[in-house]
Amino acid sequence: MVIDEAPRLLSSHGTAKGCNDIEARLENLGYEMCQSRNSWDDAEYKGINTRWVTEGGQRFEVQFHTPESFHAKQYVTHGAYGRTRNPLTSDAERLGWRRSNGRCPRGSKVPDRATDIPNFKKEGL
């Protein structure tokens, strides 16, 4: 099931509020958050990934990005991410990709209060 494939990007100044608002909307629709991973302090990926489940058990992911973090994810680091996830990639090549290509561009600004959003994992998952 695809709800919406078009990215909805959060402003750099309203990331925390935007995340909270969208999470509340999803919960009001009956969806339950299973996991949230805040990666704003990560060198390779900037953003927040959340995993949800419908009442019928269907799982889906929602990613929270600013325009800058979405650009880095889609156009700067995605190739390296794919290579590092490939089981045929050697450990040496994987390390090389992470060192050279898998870093978010310097100057990727962390949005206001974005690092305040806690990680979460529902027990039993």
Element (H, E) at 33: strand 32-38
At residue 106, does pLDDT exceed 50?
A: yes
Average pLDDT over residues 83-102: 74
Of 17, 44, 36, nearest in space to 114 by CA: 17
Torsion of CA 38, 43, 45, 50, to 10 degrees: -10
User: For a pLDDT cut of 90, what percent of the chain falls above it?
Assistant: 33
Q: Quick one: DSSP state of residue 35? A: E
Q: What's CA 52's distance to the chain center, in Å?
A: 13
15 with 115: CB under 8 angstroms? Answer: no
How many CA atoms are closer than 13 Å to the CA of 14, on its beta-carbon side? 7
Give the largest CA-CA distance in the chain. Answer: 46
**HEC per residue, 36-82:** EEECCCCCCCCCEEEEEECCCCCEEEEEECCHHHHHHHHHHCHHHHH
Average pLDDT over residues 71-99: 76
- The pLDDT score that the predictor gives to residue 79 is 67
